[in-house]
Amino acid sequence: MGKLIISENVTLDGVVQDPTGEEGSGRGSWFTWISDEDRAAWARIEYEEALGAEALLMGRRTHAYFLGRGWASRTGEWADRLRSLPKYVVSSSAVEDAGWGEPTVLAGDVVREVAKLKEEVSGEIVVYGSARLVHTLIEHDLADEVRLMTYPFVVGAGERLFPPTTGVKPARLVGTRTVGTALALLTYELGRHRVR
């Protein structure tokens, strides 16, 4: 059975929106405020994560974001690894391939489709970005782990990773790691266990 991993870049106050400032939120661009050395350390961690993945799951907008940033034609080990992974995209319409590997579209009931995917894929299924999809995965207890690459900024407004839920969603801290000099990678196991 697959293990569903949510992997996100977040600010200290949990904002995931507009990390590169392209959405024009007025509070974005926080991803670009870190040093080149920290960005290189971040890229190494992301590559390690890709090596451990068996598949990628994302929403339609995140898939388009990757294509729009040229991941289909990028070179290097990280780009090659991402290109080689099977991609599953939650969308109600067709999704462009654009040389990044033909994605499998998951249409219909998201909860049922993702639960089925977890049964079919053995190993880690990594979710990048895809805030709307992440909200659904957390609400329906489909995520097994959350990896938060935490940036040392409080932006004060913007879409947050964790929206209101219908109940408490327990998590257990299973890993901490300093990345470069400014970032912290926090890893939480999600589940129905009681936090003490």
- Supply angle C-alpha 135, 137, 143, rounded to 5: 125
Residue 133's nearest CA partner among 64, 58, 63 is 58
Q: Give the whole-angstrom CA distance, residue 77 versus residue 164.
A: 38
Q: What is the pTM of this model?
A: 0.92
Each residue's pLDDT tens digit, 26-66: 888 899 999 999 999 999 999 999 999 999 999 998 998 88
Tally of CB atoms within 10 A around 69? 11
- The answer to whether 51 and 66 have CB atoms below 8 angstroms apart is no
Q: Give the whole-angstrom CA distance, residue 149 versus residue 9.
A: 5
Each residue's pLDDT tens digit, 89-121: 999 887 777 778 889 999 989 999 999 999 999
